[in-house]
Chain A
């Protein structure tokens, strides 16, 4: 079965600390994986995708097929990073499956 798991509901860090939001997936084919973010009172929007291997707002994510993980990392958290983060998987049929979400709180 296709599944995305984010084990942490809430992650609280201090400004300047490193951040890692965990994501594990279950998919038998070749997945497309994404991180989406929802800031307070804004629409859900794409943060980054594994296929482009880019860094957005200082965040990176590496696909580890052996561990079936796609963790989101940032070396130095900022207060404006506080938001809800969702990991998502796109199967070959176009269906987009999301995880449960992790709320990141960055304290001053």
Chain B
């Protein structure tokens, strides 16, 4: 059974804290993604990584950074959390083989910044 696992289901953090969201996949996928999911806005891509140590900004990278030191792990970092970053965060992975690019999603992390 393929798996994308996010380290936390729920997180509550204070404004200004540095926050780490971790994601691990066991499918040897090249591509990994971080999205925000907000009602009425859908899934917005924050960052995309197509290989170890490689990253590309998505549509809303401001206030976020990422780290991919190993193929299976992709971390999202909120350098200084703010209340407008309260959201559901989804991690996903996919293979780079065109035509087989089904994305597999984690269960999501609901982050509340107070």
Contacts and interface: CB of A to CB of B under 8 A. Distances in A.
Interface string B93-114: 0101011011101111000000
Contacts of B74: none
B37 to A, nearest CB: 8
B90 interface: yes
Given A43-B107, A44-B90, A93-B50, A98 B101 contact: no
B27 interface: no
Nearest to A32: B101
Given A32-B101, A49-B102, A95-B48, 17 more contacts: A32-B98, A36-B103, A44-B43, A44-B92, A86-B42, A92-B98, A93-B56, A94-B30, A94-B31, A94-B48, A94-B50, A94-B96, A96-B45, A96-B48, A96-B92, A100-B41, A101-B42
B28 to A, nearest CB: 15
Contacts of B30: 94
Which 10 A/B pairs are nearest by Cβ-Cβ distance? A100-B42, A98-B43, A44-B105, A101-B42, A46-B102, A43-B105, A94-B31, A90-B101, A95-B48, A98-B42
A65 interface: no
Contact of A96 (B40, B103, B107, B108): B103
B45 A97 contact: yes
A33 to B, nearest CB: 11
Interface of A: 6, 9, 32, 34, 36, 43-46, 49, 51, 86, 88, 90, 92-101
* B interface bracket (residues with beta carbon within 8 Å of A): 20 to 34
5 contacts: A9-B40, A36-B103, A44-B92, A46-B102, A98-B45
B9 to A, nearest CB: 11
B89 interface: no
